[in-house]
Amino acid sequence: MIRRPKLLLMPAAVVLLVGFLIPSLIMLFSPPGTETAEVFERLGSMLTDPYDLTIIGRTLMYGLVTMAISILVGFPIAYLLARSQSRYAGIFLALAIFPLLLSTVVRTFGWLVILGSNGAIGQLIVALGFADRGPQLLYTPLAVILGMVQLFLPLAIISCYSAVAQVDQNLDDAARGLGASPTRTLWSIVIPMSLPGIVVAATLVFAGATTAYTTPYLLGGSGQRVLATQLFTYASVTVNWAAASATALIMTVLVFAVSGLSAALASRKGSIE
């Protein structure tokens, strides 16, 4: 017998299945005018082609580096905001996540102004006498990573903040009362109990960085192609649906693989502790 709470979930499940899951599977495995065998044939060629493997590796590297930097920077900020007793803590939190309200294009164009050869960094280097002309920082891995970290850092902060805020601060006080240092308290109490939220933050950041199109396109150019820019080319320029579906399938597998690995590592760490 089905309980009422489960019945309440059924309309949302049907909408998710019919409106998202089934169309996504159709586009991944059987796009318009293309057989499933063609998609897998193209997928096999991509996994053996050095050019495509370079793009896959670059996409994975950008996603992992962006995820690592966002968590390493975002968690301390979230921890300080969650444990702050200042009446301005809410204002600082709003400022930290305010970039989420801005357009991705607007935020990325800001880096074009900063990283260009005549941009702020270039002019500073020339003014300090380190070079006769500003270096071209655009269209490099550094530019893409900086842009994506700025793009997804607020997402990491708000996810980690929610996790840390749910950890009872009395546990911190109890640990310190027993002689634990603030650092020991952080590593032994706060981080293990916040681990599910950290995993969620890492997954969201990695998924966003792996599938981002605007930032790699504007800051990386043609020399820093990733799977998202390749997907756009296949779907809108060459109209190669088999290649587009194969590319989307690789992106999907990367996201699920890394999120599953993160969840497994988190659960293993939690069970050990």
For 82-111, give one letter per residue: b (16+ CB within 10 A) or e: beeeeeeeeeebeebeebeeeebeebbeeb
For 239-272, give one letter per residue: b (16+ CB within 10 A) or e: ebbbbbbbbbbbbeebbeebbeebbeebeeeeee
Q: Take residue 203 and report the two structure tokens written for it.
A: 């997954």
Q: Give the domain CATH number at 41.
A: 1.10.3720.10
Query: What letter would DSSP give residue 188?
Result: I
Q: What is the pTM of this model?
A: 0.85
Answer yes or no: are the C-beta atoms of 144 and 62 closer than 8 Å: yes
What's the domain count of the chain? 1
11 lies in a domain? no
220 lies in a domain? yes
Answer yes or no: are the C-beta atoms of 265 and 217 closer than 8 Å: no
Q: What sign has the CA pseudo-torsion 187, 193, 194, 195?
A: positive
Q: Take residue 13 and report the two structure tokens written for it.
A: 């499940």
24 lies in a domain? no
Q: Which residue has the tokens 């294009």?
A: 105
The parent domain of residue 126 ranges over 34-272
- Please tell me the predicted confidence (pLDDT) of residue 170: 81
- Please tell me the predicted confidence (pLDDT) of residue 54: 94
3 lies in a domain? no
Distance separating alpha carbons of residues 259 and 126, to the nearest angstrom: 43
CA-based nearest residue to 107, from 73, 148, 72, 145: 148
29 lies in a domain? no
Distance separating alpha carbons of residues 156 and 136, to the nearest angstrom: 29
pLDDT per residue as tens, the chain (273 positions): 456 677 777 888 888 878 777 877 877 788 877 888 888 898 899 999 999 999 999 999 999 999 999 999 999 999 999 888 888 888 888 888 888 888 888 888 888 888 877 777 777 777 777 777 777 788 889 999 999 999 999 999 999 999 998 888 888 778 777 777 877 888 888 888 888 889 889 999 999 999 999 899 989 888 889 999 999 999 888 888 889 999 999 998 998 888 888 777 766 655 545
Answer yes or no: are the C-beta atoms of 28 and 245 closer than 8 Å: yes
Print the SS3 string covering 193-240.
Answer: HHHHHHHHHHHHHHHHHHHCCHHHHHHHHHHHCCHHHHHHHHHHHCCC
- Please tell me the predicted confidence (pLDDT) of residue 137: 82
6 lies in a domain? no
CA-based nearest residue to 140, from 105, 111, 163, 98: 111
Residue 169 CA to chain centroid, in angstroms?
A: 29
